[in-house]
Structure 1
Amino acid sequence: MLLRPATARTWVSAHRSDPRSLFLCLVLVLFLVSGGAVQASTGTDPFAEKRLALVVGIAGYDNAPDLANTTNDGKLISDTLNALNFRVSEHFDIGLEEFRNLLKQFAFDAETADVALVYFAGHGIEVGGRNFLVPADAKAGSRQQVADTSVSLDDILAAVDKARQLRIVILDSCRNDPFADDGARETLTVDSRTAGRGLAPASPERGTLVAYAAEAGAVALDGAGDNSPFAMALAQTLRTRDLEIGLAFRQVRDTVLKATANAQEPHTYGSLSGKPYFLAGSSQEVNGLAATARRNAWGRLEVDQEEQLQVAAREGDSRALKGLAYMRLNPDEDRYDPAKAAAFLEKAADAGDPEAMFELARMYERGIGVDQDVDKALDLFRKSAAEGFADAINDLGFLHFQGGLGIVRDPKKAIELFGQAADQRHPEAMFNYAALIDDGVVDGKSADDAAEYLYRALRSGNEEVLGQLSENPKMFKAETRRSLQRKLAERAFYSGSIDGQFGPQTQRGLRKAYGLSE
């Protein structure tokens, strides 16, 4: 059984007398299962959306001035996220060791969460082009010593990195810098050369948004009351019903600008997937739709939000351009206009957005909204793949495996591409690559490697992977099955015999590794 995205080409296995059938994957972008957070809170659906948050507020410092509102801000955001059905772990005035241990546990737990969010309020500084969040017991002999006894932004990004659909890091951390000789402000920076440090490669299932309380290099205000302007705006806006998540952070920015008389402007970095997502309200039901229906859900935006999307698109926001394009690719809507959709995608692709390149490639391949041009399609597929877009890499793998769009059939190159997509954590590619390794057609890879890819595919949250491993495990050789059992045992998901037999105990282990409770 080979998994493939719904957009991929038919692939007949060339190296099994009883080939694994192909089936359409659920391209699950941002949020996996139906029912949204309401079901998650009741526990009635074992596959319901899971939201996980870590909130850290540091007010009391051993070697730096205390901060006024950071604990209050942390509690406000924690309460807000609890109300939005996040499972929140909140911690205040913690030291470096505890902070690191929390991040380690959070990273493991986030692998089975649909959404992973970290909020930090406290001192934050930049040293040598890297950003650091300062715990309560950080040393202060020099700026480098502060950095050495702090948590880096890279550490935070790594902690949310494997969440299945959406990753958000929120830093309310730019105040006066107590570690600078000249009394300068704290600066959390974003350098165009290193802005992607620590971010996972872009893929259709994943999006990472990093939100700063103030734009890079600027100061964040504590405010005159018990909470900072940023925390108040964030808490209020995230609770807004039926507000799309990308537009929510734009509204946070506008609210803070107004509250501070333009003295503080929050800023976001990174990118979200081109599929809409809602934290609150009845629109949450779209979070669990399959790929095409999820994309079409942009058409459900209320009029004022569509107008905001138009404004963002005019400012060159690639996600807004994609949203407007997807609104016009739904043939069931009066606004269906594939030519206009192609124009929006063209702008986003020209701005370097790999998802837009991929979608536009599909349109050129099929002649939808544009004149059919397979050379243009192939060029766009390659550009998207070069940017690390896993769906494009996987599709190129299928093209090389069977030939197409002028590509001469090259199974060796196909396997290489499938491996690249698998290493980008593309769920179907991980499963497929494991199958190819198990078939013995991948040089230098063993049954243990196949099992590792299967384990990662399982942890990625694809229901079809769980289904295949549960219902048809003998599609894999006994050695691969035993190796997978060992990996489950190493992570304390399984304690039975390493015998390659996927009986009830192994089945429970698979479900636990997937993230399902008994």
Structure 2
Amino acid sequence: MLLAMPLAAQGEADVFDMAPVDGRRVALVIGNSNYNQGSSWAALDNAADDARYMADTLSDPARGDAQFETVLLTDATLEQTLAALRRFAETAENADIALVYYAGHGFQHGGENYIAPVDAPGRISDDAIAQHYVSMTEMIAAAYTRGLTIFVLDACRTPGAVVTVRRDGSAITPPPFGAVDAPDAVILYATASGNGAYDAAPPGAPLSPFATAMARAVSQPGLDIPYVFNAVHQTVRLATEIFEPDQPAQRPVFTGSYSRRFFFIPPDMEDFVPTETAAVEVAEAGSAPVVQRGASDAEILGITDRELATIDENNLVGRIFARHTMPSLRALADGGNPVAMSMLGYLLSYDQPPAEGDFSGERLAEAQRWLERGAATGHPAPQLEYGHFLIVHGTEENRPQAIELVERSADQGFAKAQSYLYSAIQRGLVPGRTAPESIGLLREASERGHGWASYALLFESEPFEPHLARLQALAEAGDVEGHSWLCRASERAYIAARGIVIDNAFDHCLAAANGNYTDAQAITAARYAEGRGVAANAERAHFWARLAEGAHYLDPVFRPRVEAILAED
């Protein structure tokens, strides 16, 4: 729940066009592993195998109408790649969804991103790069379609290694693959700028963790595209954070305008099972995790009770689907798990416009059934979610019931509900309860680990040290919410005027940006551009600005600075 937004507008930031994009699906999948001898590019054990795996997954006949007509290239030369792009352009022009997947080496030079064919030379003059490498501009043009274009880019498995010899004789190593300018497209990067992606994790694995996660996520029935990418992010993070601190965890990042919903596997294919040859590991990865006896309803879904009470639903979804599938979530809900009911209600309603009391639409009707059933169990999560549902989609007549549900949830010490109730009281939506009284709710939510509550208390006229300390403790524990709110606090003039100093502000912003927090991406871009708390770096400023600018929702406060950075190209 977007607690910082007016209650009447909550949910509207994520409203999509109602009809999902669908129709003819085409894909170009490229994986380059074996670079020619004499090239500066190291061999990649798994890139070609990753591409084969993804091609098999997308073209699986079991997908029915959701199958992609797929062209696969492995260890492709420049000539082969360009020829494939020309053919794909003709195909994509008459398609509704086009997907381009690339695994291999890539780099950025002169504001353009390039992928490296296997016959790329080891040394090259500055003005000849475009003659030996494939620019992303060419790939973007080839993937133009009348509907939705998706790019999945895994081009950062090692730092840039191609040597460019400038005309004056000096040699440089170009920076890694950067942000791609592809308007009206959705882009998933295997990792953020400046970070490496694992070719295998653990070493010797037959596929990269990114390809494994991607194939699993695109085989999830009824999972909309932002949540597909969120699940990829969480799955890869979980698979690679075990190598910290020796090596950093890999965190995929994504951007794009989700103006229409898109399902790799539509909701009406809930019984979809990949064919054995196409996605054996996808099916295995999608099995429910082993759950300890006595686990709570939240723990059965793969999240902790604290996470359930303090993290917004849009971020919980990725964590849950890193371990579960939509069918397994429904099975848990059918079996009486109230947290599963709450999450189903959220997934069915988050993208729907305010209904003004008309719950007759198929998705809203099902959402209401699950939320009403979940709230009746007395669990605080569906109580809060159902209260929010009635506020967004109901009328004034539904308001008393909605507030009562939120109060019941808050009375159980559910931190998000306490913060939500604080917001409602502040806006005069709760008769008989006053603004000073609501501060107590916010303090309790802060004490229970709700990052937004601690952040909001920094603006209140009381000692700020306990609330700042709680945010710092969250960040130190690896909670991205803590990093996100500390990052935002570092940019607020009122907080600075109170004498509040956010130590290591850039580090907090970068951690939240890597966690796909859009506002943190915008702030990180500005800090790189201005050299605030970090050495100025135009390429990384551009990368993060491009991600923030292309996101579905960016706080208008940050948009002018993001646009200014992009205009400096």
When normalised by structure 2's length, the TM-score is 0.42
Task: Give the TM-score, by structure 1 length.
Answer: 0.45
